[in-house]
Amino acid sequence: MEEFLTAHFWLAVGQIIMIDILLGGDNAVVIALACRQLPQNLRVKGILWGTAGAIVLRVILIAFALTLLQVPYLKLVGAALLLWIGVKLLAPEDEDSHSNIQGSDKLWAAVKTVIVADLVMSIDNVIAIAGAATGAGGQHQLPLVIFGLVVSVPIIIWGSQLVLKLMDRFPLIITVGGMLLGWIAGTMAHSDPAVKSWLPQSVLWSYGLGTAGALSVFLVGTLVKRRSHTVK
């Protein structure tokens, strides 16, 4: 119980909430598109059931990810993916990823669309959240994940427009989010079982690799963004 009162635990909760808001903003769009053809009296049910199914599925995926990340070298792979996700966050591609989301006038068909679309779109969330949870350490990683999702999902669904407006007005939020993913990538790579035998397992090394990951995302993301603007 004492672990739930530590600053380390609540820092990880904050990271999970920020990750889910930054990477999960599309989920609100998916839900809206999937439920747009439902009769007015069924839309709330479609949103609630679809969201509940998506959350349960995501918790299951993260539970598997937390287990798999104990296998040597998989944290290194996850760290590389997080660096790539962070760069994409800073320099997003111009594409309409929602054009193939089909609405339905049947409740359970809309719910199924929400769940399947969320499954396809949530791989980056799963990797990032699992990385943040493993960084917290301890034996309460899954409760930590569930708590973070429970707090962040309502923000995504009911506050997505506000969040998007804040991101448009303050681009620094996205930059900090991308660098956070780089930080998690660095600290996750440091805790991989494969590197523990030859890399010093000190807080200084962990923070050093985290800082290197954050700076890498910032520099590469900024370079890619500038180059894409130059091409246009």
pLDDT tens-digit profile of 167-209?
A: 778 888 888 888 988 998 998 888 888 888 788 888 899 899 9
User: Measured between alpha carbons, how far is 148 from 79 in angstroms, rounded to an integer?
Assistant: 21
Q: What is the mean pLDDT of residues 213-219?
A: 95
Q: What is the pLDDT of residue 74?
A: 86
Q: What is the mean pLDDT of residues 139-168?
A: 71
Q: What is the pLDDT of residue 215?
A: 96
User: Measured between alpha carbons, how far is 156 from 34 in angstroms, rounded to an integer?
Assistant: 16
Above 60 in pLDDT, residue 96?
Answer: no
Q: What is the pLDDT of residue 43?
A: 77
Identify the band that residue 101 occupies on the pLDDT scale cut at 50, 70 and 90: low
pTM of the prediction? 0.74
All residues at 6 or more sequence positions from 120 whose CB lies less than 8 Å from its CB, including other chains: none
| Beta carbons of 90 and 222 less than 8 angstroms apart | yes
All residues at 6 or more sequence positions from 8 whose CB lies less than 8 Å from its CB, including other chains: 136, 137
Above 70 in pLDDT, residue 84?
Answer: yes
Above 90 in pLDDT, residue 22?
Answer: no
